[in-house]
Amino acid sequence: MRSVKVLPNTATEAQLPASDSSPENPFVARPPSSREKILEVAESLFAVGGYAGVGMRQIAASVGLSKSSLFHHFPTKLELYAEVLDRVIERLELGLCGEAAHPGKAADQLDHWIASIVGTLAESAPAARLLLRALVDDDPFPAIEFQPTDREPMSFEIRLDRVIDRFRTLLEEGIADGVFRPVSVGDAIQSTIGAIVFHFASGDLGEALIGEPIFSGSAVDRRRREVSEFIRRGLLA
């Protein structure tokens, strides 16, 4: 149903370089385009309410636009949601891409991996929840009645699969080298994802458990150390 989706998005794309070329402008540090504002607001709202739990009116009101204007930037609610998810996975990829230059032993690579993902998830509160919802909600979106039998995989899903595949390779090589225990790779991935992502999605419960806001600097630093050590020991031979 949805086409290949090369969204026009000309405004943002064309505006950014132009503004960038005059970096001395002291006023209005890049007034975020409406499109960008919509995406950010939608991200935080979808994170706490889920796809079905947030209405276009609510998003519009939070942005400060009318509902009609939302549909001027995004053809449907589903496309808006898809683009929100895309932004999340893109940030993850970006962080991992920076770490990809880190060659070395599998154990070190694992550390960099975990540090990168923890860092990315800690940067924006909605990310982990969105990710967890997307992983748990069957297929792509919750509660869609019709199953088009052969739904196209959606950008978000294939990109996520690619990330997970790279992690699987990391584990398999580590096992082959004798660095990691001969674990069931699939189960190890599941345990790792759960341990890392859940924490930053756990909201009030997590805050109650660790005794301070999840996203505070000290909590994030400690989390990085703790979960890294936890997973290292869980995997190392």
- Residues in the site for its own copies, rule: CB under 8 A? 48-54, 129, 132-133, 135-139, 142-143, 161, 164, 168, 183-184, 186-199, 201-206, 208-211, 222-223, 226-227, 229-231, 233-236
Q: Tell me the backbone φ, ψ of residue 180, rounded to 5 degrees.
A: -100, 160
With CB under 5 to 8 Å by kind, the binding choice for 75 among its own copies, DNA, none is: DNA
95-134: contacts with DNA (CB under 7 A): none
Give whichever of 16 and 236 is closer to its own copies, judged by the CB atom. Answer: 236
Give whichever of 70 and 134 is closer to DNA, judged by the CB atom. Answer: 70
Rounded to a whole number of angstroms, the minimum distance from the CB of residue 69 to DNA is 4
With CB under 5 to 8 Å by kind, the binding choice for 96 among its own copies, DNA, none is: none
CA angle 90, 91, 92 (to 5 degrees): 90
Give whichever of 78 and 189 is closer to DNA, judged by the CB atom. Answer: 78
Bridge partners, 180 (sequence order)? 236
The contact mask relative to DNA for 8-37 (x = CB under 7 A, - = no) is x-xx----------------------xx--
- Segment near DNA (CB under 7 A), from 58-66, 107-115, 160-168, 199-207? 58-66
Residue corresponding to tokens 């005794």: 211
Site membership for DNA, residue 76 (CB under 7 A)? yes
Site membership for DNA, residue 67 (CB under 7 A)? yes
Amino acid at 157: E
Please pick, from the candidates 5, 16, 55, 166, the single residue that binds DNA as defined by CB under 7 A: 55
| Spatial distance between the Cα atoms of 181 and 171, rounded to a whole number of angstroms | 10
Give whichever of 75 and 178 is closer to DNA, judged by the CB atom. Answer: 75
Considering CB under 7 A, how many residues would be counted as binding DNA? Answer: 23
Rounded to a whole number of angstroms, the minimum distance from the CB of residue 27 to its own copies is 36
With CB under 5 to 8 Å by kind, the binding choice for 101 among DNA, its own copies, none is: none
Quick one: three-class SS letters along the chain? Answer: CCCCCCCCCHHHHHHHHHHHCCCCCCCCCCCCCHHHHHHHHHHHHHHHHHHHHCCHHHHHHHHCCCHHHHHHHCCCHHHHHHHHHHHHHHHHHHHHHHHHCCCCCHHHHHHHHHHHHHHHHHHCHHHHHHHHHHHHCCCCCCCCCCCCCCCCCCHHHHHHHHHHHHHHHHHHHHHHCCCECCCCHHHHHHHHHHHHHHHHHCHHHHHHHHCCCCCCHHHHHHHHHHHHHHHHHHHEC
Q: Which residues contribute to the site for DNA (CB under 7 A)?
A: 8, 10-11, 34-35, 54-58, 64-69, 71-73, 75-78
